[in-house]
Amino acid sequence: MTPMAFGAILLLLFAAGIPIAVALGMTAAVSMHGSGIPLEAMVQRMFAALDSFPLSAIPFFVLAGALMESAGISNRLINFAQSLVGRATGGLGLVTVISAMFFAAISGSSAATTAAIGSILIPAMTVRGYPKSFATAVQAASGELGVIIPPSIPMIIFALTAGVPVSIGDLFVAGVIPGVMIGGSLMLTVSLISRKRGYGLGAAGADHGLRALGDPPPKGRAFREAFLPLLMPLIILGGIYGGVFTPTEAAVVAVFYALFLGGAVYRTLTAASVMAALRASLLSTVVILLIISAASVFGWVLTANRIPDMIAQAFVAFSQEPYVFLLLVNLLLLIVGMFLETGAAIIILAPILTPVAVKLGVDPVHFGIVMIVNLAVGMTTPPVGVNLFVACQVAGLRIEQILKDMLPFYLVLLLDILILTYLPQITLWLPGVLK
């Protein structure tokens, strides 16, 4: 089957509203049937794709984030963020970004970050006088930090499917500075827009934009209340880099730490909330793993038809300059991210593009971060942007109602991508220092 045929079948299935995992599996099945390959091989490949010990880190990180959310950890993080920047102009918008950064360091999921923070701060910003469309746009743009700041589920998927050796720990550490940089750029954007449009009140204002949530505690008290949750990413990264445990074992540690905080320290976890977290994480994990298994079969069929080789040769034939290659990859990923779920996109494209990038002299860790940041932006773009759907569902808006407010954030995120692409030191400096 030719690349055009694969693309036509996929686009047809996507246009028909078929779920991504089913569309990938059906396309693979059509190709296998046409090539005379028994469909039993499809089941074998799907099972083999999930028969991986490192892959078990995904359900544990998902569960850890769900437990933290059920334990009310997001409220403590929001209070701490509010004590830091809540009195600035556009304070609640800044609180939204910083809270997303904090929660991203716990959840590893973009959708979870958007839902946990947005359910509190979108209504709060609306009550305080921010346009609901702007509040929703801030949350949707900030939610992408959930997969950039470690721990990150897409980073685990990339390390397992890249086609070249890549350390999950290196990817985790490499995501710290890019995540902080992107968070800072979003904060700057929120501040400038708020000043221009008069959202919130400055330090001289009557209530400093804090009445919607209630006055936050003093900085010292807010920090003490958020200190233990903020230790989680340090425990995870420190344990991995210190050789205490593997990334998969770190995910299990994260679950027990979440249970310890919610059950023993804060005593906010009940049997019912634990069961709710288990159900939510089970559903999320099943969806992720089903996509991974279907995408694995799809990738296997692509390889059997030598399509990755064709694509790689096309890229190399166009230019062997790494800067040109990275520009083409950015364009490709931004388009793919608009239509394909992040995990599926990584599984399909990482084994095709990463070996070519390495051959052209691009560090695989740097390339992994570039790929994940591009696809994270795809989470905020229609028609398949999961952050848009989650944020709009919380706000009760349609996606088209917030697109105008999303435009400044799109421009800033594109600038962030270019900076990270062509200044690899931003990504590679911290892993190099820790090694």
The 3-class SS string of 239-271 reads HHHCCCCCHHHHHHHHHHHHHHHHHHHCCCCCH
CA distance 404 to 389: 16
**C-alpha 244: how far from chain center:** 26
- Residue % of the chain over a pLDDT of 70: 94
Q: What per-residue confidence (pLDDT) applies to 326?
A: 94
Dihedral (CA of 65, 67, 69, 75) sign: negative
CB 200 within 8 A of CB 209: yes
pLDDT tens digits, one per residue of 353-378: 999 899 899 999 999 999 999 999 98
- Is it the case that residue 201 has pLDDT exceeding 60? no
Q: Identify the burial level of 198 via C-beta atoms within 10 angstroms of its C-beta, where 0-12 means exposed, 13-18 middle and 19 or more buried.
A: exposed
pLDDT-based confidence at residue 337 (cuts at 50, 70, 90): confident
- Is it the case that residue 428 has pLDDT exceeding 50? yes
Residue 223, both tokens: 């920090």
Q: What per-residue confidence (pLDDT) applies to 170?
A: 93
Q: Which residues contact 252 (CB under 8 A, 6 or more apart)?
A: 60
Helix H, strand E, coil C: the string for 186-246 is HHHHHHHHHHHHCCCCCCCCCCCCCCCCCCCCCHHHHHHHHHHHHHHHHHHHHHHHCCCCC
CB 330 within 8 A of CB 413: no
CA distance 104 to 93: 17
- Residue % of the chain over a pLDDT of 90: 26
Average pLDDT over residues 384-398: 83
**What's the alpha-carbon Rg for the chain, to the nearest Å?**
22
Tell me phi and psi for residue 51, to 5 degrees. Answer: -85, 65
pLDDT tens digits, one per residue of 142-178: 988 988 998 888 999 999 888 899 999 899 999 999 9
